[in-house]
């Protein structure tokens, strides 16, 4: 595939400023999501957010490591009832009375040990409907000023992935493969990160994040 050369390094402070400015404008939403959406994405209508979905939140956390901005992802255990063995953000369903922000911070603490008091919320990305689980996902962007000590919750998290933003911006990390869902062949874009294929809703949320920081993934010519 082709794509612009990404910056050698992204720093948390500069990304925070960029995100705050971008989140104050109209978000790209489905235009960005489509970059990493399976084709076709069964049960998904890009311009529709169905009523009566389960509400969930995800934490897209930026933090410094080796002086460069990183994002934390989790490899879900094979025993989970939904999306087992897949890569996701820390996150989960909203509890009664919770906001998306509160749920994302709670899940960040429960799944990977990130203290909410150490996190500054920046804002919300576009909501995303996940048909297979009947969920409406609200991605929450946030930053940590310092490098957190991650502690994986063993029942839900097989391991954590600490991904440099510069790697997300690397065009060579975007691939594509054919999969079969419900008897239908689909073309599935994915990020290859730390030996894991990151696809589906997680990849779509990352696509919007990258769009906002000026490095949208290019799936033209993927293999």
3-state DSSP assignment of residue 89: coil
Query: What is the rounded CA–CA span in Å between residue 55 and residue 159?
Result: 25
Q: Which residue has the higher pLDDT, 203 or 6?
A: 203
Q: Round the average pLDDT of the chain to a whole number and report it.
A: 89
Would the pLDDT of 1 be above 50? no
- Give the angle 215-169-72 at the CA atoms, nearest 5°: 115
Average pLDDT (89-115) is 96
Would the pLDDT of 48 be above 70? yes
Maximum separation of any 2 CA atoms in the chain, in Å = 46
In a domain, 1, yes or no: no
In a domain, 218, yes or no: no
In a domain, 217, yes or no: no
In a domain, 67, yes or no: yes
Average pLDDT (185-189) is 93
Residue 4: pLDDT band by 50, 70, 90 thresholds? very low
Would the pLDDT of 201 be above 90? yes
In a domain, 136, yes or no: yes
DSSP string, 130-183: EGGGTEEEEEEEEEESS-------TTTEEEEEEEEHHHHT-GGGEEEEEEEETT
- Residue 82's pLDDT is 62
- Residue 140's pLDDT is 98
Q: What are the C-alpha distances in Å from 101 to residues 1, 7, 85, 141, 154?
A: 36, 30, 25, 9, 24
- Residue 145 maps to which CATH number? 3.90.79.10
Residue 79: pLDDT band by 50, 70, 90 thresholds? low
In a domain, 123, yes or no: yes
In a domain, 7, yes or no: no
For the chain, how many structural domains are there in total? 1
The range of the structural domain enclosing residue 158 comes to 12-42+52-212
Average pLDDT (77-97) is 82
Query: What is the rounded CA–CA span in Å between residue 29 and residue 126?
Result: 5
In a domain, 129, yes or no: yes
């Amino acid at each position: 595939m082709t794509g612009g050369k990404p910056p050698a390094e992204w720093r948390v402070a500069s990304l925070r400023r960029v995100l705050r400015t971008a989140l104050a404008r109209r978000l790209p939403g489905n235009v960005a999501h489509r970059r990493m959406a399976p084709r076709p994405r069964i049960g998904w209508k890009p311009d529709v957010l169905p009523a009566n979905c389960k509400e969930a939140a995800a934490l897209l956390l930026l933090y410094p490591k080796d002086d460069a901005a990183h994002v934390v992802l989790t490899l879900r255990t094979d025993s989970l009832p939904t999306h087992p063995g897949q890569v996701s953000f820390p996150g989960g369903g909203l509890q009664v009375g919770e906001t998306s922000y509160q749920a994302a911070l709670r899940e960040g603490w429960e799944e990977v040990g990130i203290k909410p008091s150490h996190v500054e919320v920046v804002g919300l990305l576009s909501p995303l409907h996940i048909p297979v689980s009947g969920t409406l996902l609200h991605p929450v962007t946030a930053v940590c000023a310092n490098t957190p000590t991650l502690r994986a919750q063993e029942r839900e998290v097989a391991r954590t992935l600490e991904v440099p933003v510069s790697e997300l911006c690397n065009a060579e990390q975007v691939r594509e493969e054919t999969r079969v869902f419900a008897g239908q062949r689909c073309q599935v874009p994915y990020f290859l990160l730390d030996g894991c294929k990151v696809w589906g809703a997680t990849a779509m949320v990352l696509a919007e994040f990258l769009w906002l920081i000026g490095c949208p993934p290019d799936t033209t010519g993927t293999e």
